[in-house]
Protein backbone atom coordinates (compact mmCIF):
# COMPACT_ATOMS: atom_id res chain seq x y z
CA UNK A 1 0.00 0.00 0.00
CA UNK A 2 1.44 3.35 -0.95
CA UNK A 3 1.70 6.33 1.36
CA UNK A 4 -0.93 8.28 -0.64
CA UNK A 5 -3.39 5.40 -0.40
CA UNK A 6 -2.75 5.04 3.32
CA UNK A 7 -3.34 8.74 4.00
CA UNK A 8 -6.54 8.81 1.91
CA UNK A 9 -9.61 8.74 4.12
CA UNK A 10 -13.27 9.57 4.21
CA UNK A 11 -12.67 13.26 4.94
CA UNK A 12 -10.18 13.73 2.10
CA UNK A 13 -12.07 12.81 -1.08
CA UNK A 14 -10.32 12.54 -4.42
CA UNK A 15 -11.34 14.42 -7.55
CA UNK A 16 -13.06 11.32 -8.94
CA UNK A 17 -15.17 10.99 -5.79
CA UNK A 18 -16.17 14.64 -5.94
CA UNK A 19 -17.09 14.30 -9.63
CA UNK A 20 -19.05 11.13 -8.79
CA UNK A 21 -21.14 12.99 -6.20
CA UNK A 22 -21.73 16.00 -8.47
CA UNK A 23 -22.79 13.83 -11.42
CA UNK A 24 -25.01 11.83 -9.04
CA UNK A 25 -26.75 15.01 -7.89
CA UNK A 26 -27.26 16.12 -11.51
CA UNK A 27 -28.60 12.67 -12.41
CA UNK A 28 -31.00 12.74 -9.47
CA UNK A 29 -32.23 16.18 -10.58
CA UNK A 30 -32.78 14.92 -14.13
CA UNK A 31 -34.67 11.88 -12.79
CA UNK A 32 -36.91 14.17 -10.71
CA UNK A 33 -37.56 16.30 -13.78
CA UNK A 34 -38.44 13.13 -15.72
CA UNK A 35 -41.19 12.12 -13.34
CA UNK A 36 -42.45 15.64 -12.65
CA UNK A 37 -42.59 16.96 -16.21
CA UNK A 38 -46.12 17.49 -17.55
CA UNK A 39 -45.08 17.02 -21.19
CA UNK A 40 -44.22 13.53 -22.42
CA UNK A 41 -41.50 14.62 -24.84
CA UNK A 42 -39.79 16.72 -22.18
CA UNK A 43 -39.96 13.75 -19.79
CA UNK A 44 -38.33 11.53 -22.43
CA UNK A 45 -35.55 14.08 -22.99
CA UNK A 46 -34.92 14.39 -19.23
CA UNK A 47 -34.76 10.60 -19.18
CA UNK A 48 -31.93 10.81 -21.74
CA UNK A 49 -30.05 13.15 -19.37
CA UNK A 50 -30.64 10.84 -16.38
CA UNK A 51 -29.49 7.73 -18.26
CA UNK A 52 -26.49 9.62 -19.62
CA UNK A 53 -25.58 10.64 -16.07
CA UNK A 54 -25.65 6.99 -15.02
CA UNK A 55 -23.32 6.18 -17.91
CA UNK A 56 -20.92 8.87 -16.66
CA UNK A 57 -21.08 7.31 -13.19
CA UNK A 58 -20.07 3.97 -14.70
CA UNK A 59 -17.16 5.67 -16.46
CA UNK A 60 -16.03 7.20 -13.17
CA UNK A 61 -16.14 3.70 -11.63
CA UNK A 62 -13.84 2.51 -14.51
CA UNK A 63 -16.57 0.24 -15.91
CA UNK A 64 -16.22 1.43 -19.50
CA UNK A 65 -17.97 -1.53 -21.10
CA UNK A 66 -21.05 -1.13 -18.89
CA UNK A 67 -21.05 2.63 -19.57
CA UNK A 68 -21.15 2.15 -23.33
CA UNK A 69 -23.78 -0.56 -23.04
CA UNK A 70 -25.82 1.93 -20.99
CA UNK A 71 -25.48 4.54 -23.74
CA UNK A 72 -26.17 2.14 -26.62
CA UNK A 73 -29.05 0.18 -25.12
CA UNK A 74 -30.84 2.61 -22.84
CA UNK A 75 -30.14 6.03 -24.33
CA UNK A 76 -29.85 4.80 -27.91
CA UNK A 77 -32.64 2.24 -28.01
CA UNK A 78 -35.16 2.54 -25.19
CA UNK A 79 -35.57 6.32 -25.33
CA UNK A 80 -35.65 6.34 -29.13
CA UNK A 81 -38.31 3.61 -28.97
CA UNK A 82 -40.25 5.71 -26.46
CA UNK A 83 -40.08 8.78 -28.71
CA UNK A 84 -41.12 6.74 -31.76
CA UNK A 85 -44.01 5.32 -29.76
CA UNK A 86 -45.11 8.84 -28.83
CA UNK A 87 -44.91 10.01 -32.42
CA UNK A 88 -46.53 6.95 -34.00
CA UNK A 89 -49.47 6.75 -31.62
CA UNK A 90 -50.13 10.48 -31.91
CA UNK A 91 -50.02 10.85 -28.14
CA UNK A 92 -50.67 14.38 -26.84
CA UNK A 93 -47.40 16.27 -26.89
CA UNK A 94 -48.41 19.12 -24.62
CA UNK A 95 -49.76 19.02 -21.07
CA UNK A 96 -52.80 16.78 -20.68
CA UNK A 97 -54.95 17.49 -17.62
CA UNK A 98 -56.74 14.14 -17.84
CA UNK A 99 -53.45 12.28 -17.23
CA UNK A 100 -53.21 13.62 -13.66
CA UNK A 101 -55.11 11.47 -11.16
CA UNK A 102 -54.47 13.77 -8.19
CA UNK A 103 -52.72 11.09 -6.12
CA UNK A 104 -49.33 12.79 -5.96
CA UNK A 105 -48.84 12.44 -2.21
CA UNK A 106 -49.78 8.76 -2.25
CA UNK A 107 -47.42 8.18 -5.17
CA UNK A 108 -44.64 10.10 -3.40
CA UNK A 109 -45.15 8.07 -0.21
CA UNK A 110 -45.07 4.77 -2.10
CA UNK A 111 -42.00 5.86 -4.09
CA UNK A 112 -40.16 6.92 -0.91
CA UNK A 113 -41.01 3.64 0.82
CA UNK A 114 -39.89 1.65 -2.22
CA UNK A 115 -36.62 3.60 -2.42
CA UNK A 116 -35.93 3.08 1.29
CA UNK A 117 -36.66 -0.65 0.99
CA UNK A 118 -34.40 -0.92 -2.06
CA UNK A 119 -31.52 0.87 -0.33
CA UNK A 120 -31.95 -1.32 2.75
CA UNK A 121 -31.98 -4.54 0.70
CA UNK A 122 -28.90 -3.57 -1.33
CA UNK A 123 -26.92 -2.46 1.73
CA UNK A 124 -27.91 -5.60 3.62
CA UNK A 125 -27.04 -7.88 0.68
CA UNK A 126 -23.61 -6.40 -0.03
CA UNK A 127 -22.52 -5.46 3.48
CA UNK A 128 -19.91 -8.22 3.72
CA UNK A 129 -18.96 -8.30 0.02
CA UNK A 130 -15.37 -7.54 -0.89
CA UNK A 131 -13.97 -6.97 -4.36
CA UNK A 132 -10.93 -9.01 -5.38
CA UNK A 133 -8.55 -6.37 -6.71
CA UNK A 134 -6.03 -8.96 -7.90
CA UNK A 135 -8.48 -10.70 -10.27
CA UNK A 136 -10.04 -9.40 -13.46
CA UNK A 137 -11.40 -5.86 -13.24
CA UNK A 138 -15.09 -5.93 -12.30
CA UNK A 139 -16.08 -3.46 -15.01
CA UNK A 140 -14.00 -5.05 -17.75
CA UNK A 141 -15.57 -6.53 -20.86
CA UNK A 142 -14.41 -10.01 -19.82
CA UNK A 143 -16.07 -9.96 -16.40
CA UNK A 144 -19.24 -8.24 -17.65
CA UNK A 145 -19.55 -10.57 -20.64
CA UNK A 146 -19.10 -13.65 -18.47
CA UNK A 147 -21.82 -12.45 -16.08
CA UNK A 148 -24.11 -11.33 -18.92
CA UNK A 149 -24.00 -14.53 -20.94
CA UNK A 150 -24.04 -16.84 -17.94
CA UNK A 151 -26.80 -15.31 -15.78
CA UNK A 152 -28.66 -12.58 -17.68
CA UNK A 153 -29.30 -13.97 -21.19
CA UNK A 154 -33.00 -14.74 -20.68
CA UNK A 155 -33.95 -11.31 -19.19
CA UNK A 156 -32.17 -9.48 -22.03
CA UNK A 157 -33.90 -11.60 -24.66
CA UNK A 158 -37.27 -11.10 -22.96
CA UNK A 159 -36.65 -7.34 -22.89
CA UNK A 160 -35.79 -7.28 -26.59
CA UNK A 161 -39.00 -9.17 -27.45
CA UNK A 162 -41.00 -6.79 -25.24
CA UNK A 163 -39.50 -3.72 -26.93
CA UNK A 164 -40.15 -5.20 -30.37
CA UNK A 165 -43.77 -5.95 -29.42
CA UNK A 166 -44.18 -2.36 -28.17
CA UNK A 167 -42.84 -0.93 -31.43
CA UNK A 168 -45.02 -3.22 -33.56
CA UNK A 169 -48.04 -2.29 -31.42
CA UNK A 170 -47.32 1.43 -31.86
CA UNK A 171 -47.05 1.01 -35.63
CA UNK A 172 -50.30 -1.01 -35.72
CA UNK A 173 -52.15 1.62 -33.64
CA UNK A 174 -50.90 4.45 -35.82
CA UNK A 175 -51.89 2.62 -39.02
CA UNK A 176 -55.35 1.75 -37.71
CA UNK A 177 -55.98 5.32 -36.50
CA UNK A 178 -54.57 6.84 -39.67
CA UNK A 179 -56.57 4.47 -41.90
CA UNK A 180 -59.87 5.26 -40.19
CA UNK A 181 -59.18 8.97 -40.32
CA UNK A 182 -58.24 8.79 -44.00
CA UNK A 183 -61.40 6.83 -44.81
CA UNK A 184 -63.55 9.39 -42.97
CA UNK A 185 -61.90 12.24 -44.87
CA UNK A 186 -62.48 10.42 -48.17
CA UNK A 187 -66.14 9.65 -47.42
CA UNK A 188 -67.02 13.18 -46.26
CA UNK A 189 -66.78 14.85 -49.74
CA UNK A 190 -68.67 11.94 -51.31
CA UNK A 191 -71.46 12.33 -48.78
CA UNK A 192 -71.65 16.04 -49.50
CA UNK A 193 -71.86 15.38 -53.24
CA UNK A 194 -74.67 12.86 -52.64
CA UNK A 195 -76.67 15.46 -50.75
CA UNK A 196 -76.23 17.96 -53.52
pLDDT higher than threshold 50 for residue 13:
yes
The pLDDT, as a whole number, for residue 151 is 81
The pLDDT, as a whole number, for residue 27 is 95
Quick: pLDDT tens for 32-59: 998 888 777 888 889 889 999 999 999 9
CA end-to-end span of the chain:
95
Residue 44 per-residue DSSP state: H
Q: Return the number of other C-beta atoms located less than 10 Å from residue 48's C-beta.
A: 19
Share of the chain above pLDDT 90, in %: 20
pTM as predicted? 0.58
Domain boundaries, the chain: 15-93, 140-173
Quick: pLDDT tens for 90-103: 666 666 666 667 78
Distance CA 7, CA 11 (A): 10
For the domain covering 15-93, report its CATH number: 1.20.120.1200
Determine contact, residues 38/95, Cβ cutoff 8 Å. Answer: yes
Distance CA 32, CA 85 (A): 22
Amino acid sequence: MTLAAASHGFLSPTGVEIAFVLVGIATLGAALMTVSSRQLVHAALWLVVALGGIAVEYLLLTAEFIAWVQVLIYVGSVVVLLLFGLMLTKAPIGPSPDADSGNRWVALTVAGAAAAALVWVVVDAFRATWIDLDGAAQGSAEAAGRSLFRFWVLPFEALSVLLLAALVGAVALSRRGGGAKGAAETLAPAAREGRL
